[in-house]
Amino acid sequence: MLKKQITQYFADLKEMQPGADGKIEVYKEEFDYAERHQLINEEFKPRIRVNELTPVTRFGSAYIERSDKELEKFLGEESFEFLNQPIDYLKKHLHEFIYMESDWFEIIGVDAFSFEVDDVFGTYDVMLGLKIQKKYDKTLKALLNDKLQGDDTKFDLLFNNEDGLWNLNFALNNVEGFDENMTLGDAFLLIYRFVFNLAEQAEESN
């Protein structure tokens, strides 16, 4: 799934118009994966510029909304600048959750991210639907147990036969790289990288 998506992504890039410097911008996660799996034509490499300085800009055109957790009521649509807020925004607004859709999620097989603070434990919880075949059941559980840190590590993983997605919930606090002082943008980037790595390892294990 991931290999197919990234192969197509780089094929589509060849048709894009370059920037002012004559290069086409890509992000580190996709570029490194393509390098590891030899998916980039050597003649195309000189046309690529890897964005390592401002990775959160991948969410520049994302759809972001705030909603009420209890009522599931829409509270407002937010711009990219909202992601500059520190993540403790959610602790100051415990009744809210943040929902994000992005074209980038198609690459990692995710429909959307939801992000909120758990009312009881105070953890930053992530909810998403992951498009990976049901046969990866044991692999996904083993990877999550290995990759999520902490003595009280918990996650919920349930396959939905209706839409063919894994419903995955986990605490971002247990992901390597988490920082209480990070911004919402950095948090969503960490989620993206975590799921990207999870999808890659699941694919390679089968």
Give the C-alpha separation, 110 to 184, whole Å: 18
Tens of pLDDT, residues 97-138: 999 999 999 999 999 999 999 999 999 999 999 999 999 999
Give the C-alpha separation, 173 to 196, whole Å: 18
Task: Report whether 165 contacts 131 (CB < 8 A).
Answer: yes
Token pair for 57: 């800009």
Q: pLDDT category, 153, cuts 50, 70, 90?
A: low
What local confidence, expressed as pLDDT, does residue 41 receive? 86
CA distances from 13 to 5, 20, 74, 204 (A): 12, 16, 35, 25
* Pick from 1, 63, 51: nearest CA to 21: 51
Q: pTM of the full predicted structure?
A: 0.94
What local confidence, expressed as pLDDT, does residue 75 receive? 96
Give the C-alpha separation, 17 to 155, whole Å: 42
Residue type at position 64: I
Angle at 54 between CA 53 and CA 56, to 5 degrees: 145
- Sign of the CA dihedral running 149, 191, 173, 115: negative
CA distances from 164 to 9, 40, 51, 89 (A): 23, 30, 33, 33
Tens of pLDDT, residues 29-70: 999 999 999 999 888 888 899 998 899 999 999 999 999 999
More confident site: 152 or 69: 69
Residue written as token pair 């694919």: 203
